Amino acid sequence: MLGAAFRVSVTSMKVITETSVTHIPVPLRLDESGTIRVGSTRVTVDLVIEEFLEGATPEEIAMNYPITVSEAYGAITWYLMRREEADAYLGERVAKAAELREWFEARDARGIRARIQAAKQKQAAASA
């Protein structure tokens, strides 16, 4: 299984203040499948980071998904502070998605995908 390759730390970040060191919880959690999700939502950290890398601000990300601005900032902060670990996780997710896509395409023995695409083309031609 791909998720067993490494551990992702999403528990907290230490912040140094003038008076003490405190722990601020990161709004990320690992679900039962090993996917990192933002807050209590089903939004994956992958989506937040992808939007951020494409130039979206945390405020824009929070408007596009059911997360708060602070959760968007927290996910981005986790990414920036643990870039090597985060990039390994994201790379693993991309590889797993490609593996699943290949698996589904290989099992399309009855041509379901081709029939769906043909039906969409027929519908588009009829409405044009």
Residues 57-90: tens digit of each pLDDT = 999 999 999 999 999 999 999 999 999 999 999 9
pLDDT top residue among 59 and 6: 59
DSSP state string for 35-60: -EEETTSS-BHHHHHHHHHTT--HHH
Task: Measure the CA–CA gap between 48 and 39, rounded to whole angstroms.
Answer: 12
For residue 91, pLDDT over 90 is answered with: yes
- Report how many helices (DSSP H) and strands (DSSP E) the chain contains, helices first: 5, 4
**pLDDT tens string 96-128:** 989 988 887 777 666 777 888 888 999 989 887
Output the pLDDT for position 20.
Answer: 57
Structural domains in the chain, sorted by start: 2-127 (1.10.10.10)
Task: Measure the CA–CA gap between 32 and 34, rounded to whole angstroms.
Answer: 6
Task: Tell me the CB-side half-sphere exposure of residue 76, using CA atoms within 13 A.
Answer: 21
**pLDDT tens string 23-64:** 778 899 999 999 999 999 999 999 999 999 999 999 999 999
